[in-house]
Structures are given as C-alpha cells and as structure tokens.
Homo-oligomer: A and B are copies of this chain.
C-alpha cells in the first residue's frame, strides 16, 4: 500500500546521528501514544479511524446524496484545516477534465472581495448547497462568505427547502453555527473537540465534501484504519522512521523540506501537508520550513535551485506506482521532434524515468531524499497516506520539542485585525 525508501537520506547521516534521533523519536512516540505530552487533549484524531461515530457516517452519506440530488454546485465554506483535507482528497481523486456532475467550489478561505462578488453572480441562477465548516461560526473569512450566501439561499428557496441546501459542520455543543442550525432545524455534523483543524480530515470536516463528490469514504477510513493497525503492530514503522529521519536532517542543517510529486493533481495534498507540518512544528523559533513543487513542471523552475542552490534542503517525493490512465507514445515517420527513441514506450514509463533521473541528479547535487511509494490514487491509499503523515507529524513535533497540536501564532494577526476593525472586546 505504502512503502518508503529512506536510503537517499541515510547517505547524508552518520550512524550516530541516526541513532540519537531514533532514541529521541522513540520517546516522542511513546509520549504521543500515552497522550502524556503537551496538547494531549487534541489527540482525538489518533484513534479516530476506529473510534469514529458510525451513526454520523451514515448521516454524512445521506446528506451527500441529498446534495447530489438538489444541487449543481456545492460551496464548501471553511478556511485552513476546514477545507484543505477535503480539497486534497477530492483533487487527488478527480481525473483531470472529468466532471462528476456536481461542481465543488471552495469559499470563505480568503477575504477577496472580487472572489466573493463574482461567486455570488456565478451562483445566481444555479441550484446550490453550502457546507459551512467552522467550530465557532464566527471566524471572519467563513462568516463573511456565509452571511452573503445565506442571504442568497433565503431568496432562492422556501424556508422548508433550505434544509436540503444548508449543512453545518461545527462544534457539537456551542457556537454561532450551532445556534443558527438549531433555530432553523438545519442538519449538523460534528467537528470533534479533541482534534485541531489540520488533523480533522477523517471527521465530518473532510468526509461530507468528499462523499458529496461521489468518493468512497468507507474506503478512505479503511485506509486510515489499515495504517492505524500497522503502526500499532510495529513500533519501528514508516511514520516513526519519517519523523526520526527528518529530525536528524534538521539537526544537520537541512531546514527546508520540499514535498514533490510527478502528478499535478497532488498539489493540494502538498498544501494540506504544508499546513500539517508547518502549523505543527513552526513555533518557538524552530521547525523545518515546508515547501512543495510539482515535477517535471517545476524542474523548469525551482529545479535549478534544488540542484545547485544553497545546500540546506531535502526532498520527500510521493511516487504513484500505477497511474490512473496511460498510453503509448506513437511512432512518427518524420521524427522531426526526435521522440522516436521512446516511441512504443508509455508516457508513464517516461515520467518514471524522469523521476528516477531527477532523484539521482539531486542526490549527486547534495540533496538528501525520501521516497514515498504508494500503489495508486484511490481512496484507500490516500486514507493511508494522510493518516501516515498525521501520526508522523505528531511524533516529529514532539521530537523537535514543541507542542504539535496548538497554533498560538495564528492568533497574532487576528488580534491586531480585530483591534483595527473595532471588534467589541479588543483593545490595544
């Protein structure tokens, strides 16, 4: 399902460096599993692949069907961890240029006035539903988007129809959305209180949009559960090893990690990963800076830097072993483009040759590397991959010596903004 080749990283580390990091990561892993470290009230995601709410899962599937029946467009309103997981899974699973029938639009993740005004116009005469994902219901970006779209929905549908177009994913006991939901009898799903947004993809936060787009959330959860069981049965598993290797590299001065893939539809997996690791580890002046590229595209962009720039970066490449579609390169009698030497080979064969060639060149150029191989882009493999990253991130953060489950730095700009805007209760 998933296997990782760490050889390209071990080349750059001594036995002592590895064994020291291993020792520290072992302690960190124990702290995570025992729930004895800082942020331990936000580790609910750890057991979630087995402890998830089965009744809610069935309600999610039913709501997904309702959305498919009533709507041309689903607008998912949420920011950060409230949309990145769903978007990552949906884009990875949606073959390019194909359309499931239902269109998905993400909103409330910026304060672009142009985006929101154009979106309202675009939705004008379409049947649409919204899934608002916010713990409090008062986060600025999603709250503004929902205030506009709610008023559009109320003009478009009778009061008793609204129930089939508005779905809240929010706190189970409190907050503005919960109150609006109760007053209007909207269907509501739970953001579990014991996990942060970036660890919530397997809860209703991720599952409702994913199911609405027609993907198999049972298989997604099964992938996560398989990872859960594998890690439980084997102490020295790939999540543990990824955590220890990246910490060993950081200690040696490799402070930028680039997540790479040779398949463009993984770009939002990278965005999700950047939030996961950046927000978990970037604190107290510490942390590996997470960056991402899509190859071969960016070999003609950041490729030069990676090959030959400052030597403080390492790379983690996600390799999809079997592509969704493939085709052979045809023979051309004129051969003006000089491609006949690969005629009869498949495009994916060439893509894999490019990948191997790149990895080899980067090693030679002094870039430590980790290669994550996953069998294919389907729900079960992606479920495994995301859960793998989450566990590894928990271990890695504790190894680094930070609380991987808080994000106090996110409040700094908010506080300044609320003061500037005159929000009640905020003063200099």
Contact = CB atoms under 8 A, between A and B. Distances in A.
Interface stretch (A31-39, A91-99, A221-229): A91-99
Contacts of A291: 289, 291
Nearest to A361: B412
Nearest to A299: B413
Interface in A42-64: none
A174 B15 CA distance: 54
A303 interface: yes
Interface centre among A137, A285, A313 (most CB of B within 10 A): A285
A41 interface: no
Contact of A302 (B79, B290, B305): B290
Interface size class of A (residues with CB under 8 A): 35 or more
Contacts of A330: 147-148, 151
B176 A111 contact: no
Given A151-B330, A413-B361, A424-B341, A112 B262 contact: yes
A283 interface: yes
A296 B141 contact: yes
A299 B111 contact: no
B275 A302 contact: yes
A323 to B, nearest CB: 5
Interface string A75-96: 0000111001000000000011
A42 B427 CA distance: 55
Given A80-B301, A113-B347, 17 more contacts: A79-B297, A79-B300, A111-B350, A112-B347, A113-B346, A137-B337, A143-B337, A146-B337, A179-B336, A278-B302, A282-B307, A286-B309, A286-B310, A357-B415, A357-B416, A357-B420, A362-B413
The 9 closest A-B pairs by CB, nearest first: A282-B305, A80-B300, A282-B309, A357-B416, A307-B409, A357-B417, A308-B409, A113-B347, A275-B301
17 contacts: A81-B300, A110-B262, A111-B262, A111-B347, A111-B354, A112-B262, A113-B326, A144-B347, A144-B350, A275-B300, A275-B301, A285-B310, A289-B309, A299-B413, A358-B413, A360-B416, A361-B415
